[in-house]
Chain A
Amino acid sequence: MKFAKALSCATILAACTFGTASAADLTIGFSQIGSESGWRAAETTLTKQEAEKRGIDLKFADAQQKQENQIKALRSFIAQGVDAILIAPVVATGWDEVLTEAKDAEIPVILLDRTVDSKDDLYLTAVTSDLVHEGNVAGKWLVEATAGKPCNVVELQGTTGSSPAIDRKKGFEEALKGNDNLKIIRSQTGDFTRTKGKEVMESFLKAEDGGKNICALYAHNDDMAVGAIQAIKEAGLKPGADILVVSIDAVPDIFQAMAAGEANATVELTPNMAGPALDALDAFLKDGKAPPKWIQTESKLYTQADDPAKVYEEKKGLGY
């Protein structure tokens, strides 16, 4: 009993010492969901890089897709008395208790790339991308690229019912509204994978007169576009010229396709969520200025004019 008391005193003491540390040598805990996709691996790499750039001691915890692991990680960060916590929450619900604990310990929490259902005074801010806006940027590019010429569009959707699939479809359709020259003639799910993207595109091509009836492809992610590009090539058409290809995510492989002239445009879902998050945190710790509750990352459009070969080299090493 005595030992436990002494231990808790020591922990509190340690927490106090950490709490008074200057902004330059911050200790920040980062609870990552896991590494289920290349994008997330890149997010981890970039978060580590951003922390190192700012001289921050980053404590990294991989939750392997489990919420209980994330809650455990958050509790251990709180016990260690870190200065702030970054978390990419695996699910939206069930965070109230642990976030309250963090609040009681006066540790600001920043959500990365996904949000939670808790009251917004439990966290400092959320840094995410706007999925509807991404679809919108892709749609606007196509509107400009076709410049009023009639154009039949086929769409490869993401996994049915997933929020990126719903929102990216919605944003794209909004951008096309009022442009009667653009028509979405076929739309099917390709499950966000290359294999399904290729298979579904093959059937689109067959169904639309060997592809002669299709003028553009919109894919909800780059992987499906990469698969579809192969299908277009095998059908004897030129992707990027005969059929315009626009997709979302900006993974390295699509830049290779763009460099080869086989894809036209991609909208970046930036894996650098930590950069804006740490900037906001810095301002908060220095001047006590609370950032807005939602920080939207930039959805940057890349086209063939943006030196795709160079971007590919930059992105290659990030672990995509």
Chain B
Amino acid sequence: MDSAKRLGRRLLPQFIALALILALIWMVFPAFFSLEMQNGRLYGSLIDVLNRGAPVALLAVGMTVVIATKGIDLSVGAVMAICGAVAAASSVRGDPLVLTLALAIGTGLICGLWNGFLVAVLNIQPIIATLVLMVAGRGIAQLVTEGAILTFNDPGLIYIGSGSFAFLPMPVITWLVFGIAVAVLLRRTALGMLIEAIGINRRASTLSGIQTPVLLMAAYMLSGFCAALAGLIVTADIKGADANNAGLWLELDAILAVVVGGTSLLGGRFSIIASLVGAMIIQAINTGILLSGFPRNST
């Protein structure tokens, strides 16, 4: 009970900001909170916020952990494009769904491993190390799709992007379940504390016996995993892999979500739940602007 109260106090500023923004949208667009059932799932602007915010929310989960280790992962947008391209290429080849998903997620993990290797083993500054894949990643994705938008028709893969489960769109379920699972895993075990220790003082953590390189690599691999999930969702959503535009600039949104969530860019204490709320704040602003009819470039 005590920990729940503490979490509530920690999240209070974020929830106040979210409530203010929602109230503001509601004033401009009164039908914002109306929900109805359509095609067996809830349908409405509020659901759109949860649904469209899924990629940034997923990226924010991995980004929070990486930032907690005093790192940063700029490559997530490009990794999304690569994983989406791999999934689409595999689906077009006619691979079974399980293999398609395994390939996409495996690709994300390998990208994360590469970043983690540069940071943890070669000791390159994270902002530089992950810049490599940020710049090169879209080229790799282009190679996979051969420069075109690769469209597919596998209903299983499309379900990940636009299917629904328990009256909610699949992307919403994905980020909610995944985000909470990671948060619980890190907080109910010592993992979260060890990650914070690395972020506060990497050298002291190593000297006190923490397997710093392994944990660092795991953090970047988690970020790669999140990017793979996000890439699968955006690819499945439009039934095609758009290597040029999938996840473009989303790394910045993800970092913003983490910062809005109150996690310090200098590493150390972090809160995944707060980052998820941060992602929803960003998406609420985006959706609100679209609904209000203001031109997009005014943001």
Q: Do A and B bind each other?
A: yes
Chain A positions within 8 Å of B, measured between CB atoms, are 35-38, 41, 160-161, 186, 188-189, 191, 193-195, 198-200, 202-204, 206-207, 223, 226-227, 230, 234-236, 253, 319-320
A194 with B147, Cβ < 8 A, contacts A199-B290, A207-B29 known: no
Q: Which of B67-75, B124-132, B210-218, B239-247 contacts A (4 or more CB under 8 A)?
A: B239-247
Smallest CB-CB A-B distances: 10 pairs: A203-B290, A194-B238, A193-B245, A160-B297, A38-B148, A189-B296, A35-B147, A206-B45, A41-B147, A203-B291
Which residues of chain A come closer than 8 Å to B149, judged between CB atoms? Answer: 38, 194, 223, 253
Cβ-defined contact, B148 with A189, below 8 A: no
Cβ-defined contact, B296 with A188, below 8 A: yes
Cβ-defined contact, A199 with B162, below 8 A: no
Which residues of chain B come closer than 8 Å to A223, judged between CB atoms? Answer: 149, 242
Cβ-defined contact, B290 with A36, below 8 A: no
Cβ-defined contact, A160 with B39, below 8 A: no
Partner of A198 from the list B29, B237, B293, B295 (CB cut-off 8 Å) is B237
Which residues of chain B come closer than 8 Å to A230, judged between CB atoms? Answer: 162, 237-239
Which residues of chain B come closer than 8 Å to A36, judged between CB atoms? Answer: 244
Partner of A203 from the list B45, B151, B246, B295 (CB cut-off 8 Å) is B45
**Cα A319 to Cα B146 with chains together (Å):** 8
| Chain A residue nearest to B39 in the complex (CB) | A236
Cβ-defined contact, B162 with A234, below 8 A: yes
A320 to B: closest C-beta gap in Å: 6
Cβ-defined contact, A195 with B290, below 8 A: no
A313 to B: closest C-beta gap in Å: 15
Q: Considering the complex, which residues of chain B in the window 189-239 have a beta carbon less than 8 Å from any beta carbon of chain A? A: 234, 237-239
Cβ-defined contact, B162 with A206, below 8 A: no
Partner of B287 from the list A203, A226, A253, A320 (CB cut-off 8 Å) is A203
Q: Considering the complex, which residues of chain B in the window 100-153 have a beta carbon less than 8 Å from any beta carbon of chain A? A: 142, 146-149, 151
**Cα A193 to Cα B237 with chains together (Å):** 13
Cβ-defined contact, A199 with B52, below 8 A: yes
Is B43 positioned at the interface, with any CB of A under 8 Å from its CB? Answer: yes
Cβ-defined contact, B43 with A186, below 8 A: no
Partner of A194 from the list B45, B52, B240 (CB cut-off 8 Å) is B240
Cβ-defined contact, A203 with B48, below 8 A: yes
| Chain A residue nearest to B298 in the complex (CB) | A160
**Cα A239 to Cα B28 with chains together (Å):** 28
Which residues of chain A come closer than 8 Å to B242, judged between CB atoms? Answer: 193-195, 223
Which residues of chain A come closer than 8 Å to B45, judged between CB atoms? Answer: 203, 206
Cβ-defined contact, A189 with B44, below 8 A: no
Partner of A227 from the list B146, B238, B291, B293 (CB cut-off 8 Å) is B238
Is B3 positioned at the interface, with any CB of A under 8 Å from its CB? Answer: no
Cβ-defined contact, A202 with B39, below 8 A: no
A38 with B147, Cβ < 8 A, contacts A206-B44, A207-B29, A226-B238 known: yes
Partner of B291 from the list A191, A195, A207 (CB cut-off 8 Å) is A207
Partner of B151 from the list A160, A195, A204, A253 (CB cut-off 8 Å) is A253
Cβ-defined contact, B38 with A236, below 8 A: yes
Cβ-defined contact, B43 with A235, below 8 A: yes
| Chain A residue nearest to B43 in the complex (CB) | A235
**Cα A206 to Cα B52 with chains together (Å):** 14
**Cα A319 to Cα B290 with chains together (Å):** 34
| A–B Cβ pairs within 8 angstroms, 19 of them | A35-B147, A36-B244, A38-B149, A41-B148, A186-B293, A189-B297, A193-B242, A194-B149, A194-B240, A194-B242, A195-B238, A199-B290, A226-B240, A230-B238, A230-B239, A235-B38, A236-B39, A253-B151, A253-B240
Is B31 positioned at the interface, with any CB of A under 8 Å from its CB? Answer: yes
| Chain A residue nearest to B148 in the complex (CB) | A38
Which residues of chain A come closer than 8 Å to B237, judged between CB atoms? Answer: 195, 198, 230
**Cα A193 to Cα B241 with chains together (Å):** 11
| Chain B residue nearest to A37 in the complex (CB) | B244
Partner of A160 from the list B29, B146, B239, B296 (CB cut-off 8 Å) is B296
| Chain A residue nearest to B32 in the complex (CB) | A206
| Chain B residue nearest to A192 in the complex (CB) | B245
**Cα A159 to Cα B244 with chains together (Å):** 14
Which residues of chain A come closer than 8 Å to B31, judged between CB atoms? Answer: 206-207
Interface string of B277-296 (1 = CB under 8 A from A): 00000000001001101011
B126 to A: closest C-beta gap in Å: 28
B116 to A: closest C-beta gap in Å: 28
| Chain A residue nearest to B41 in the complex (CB) | A234
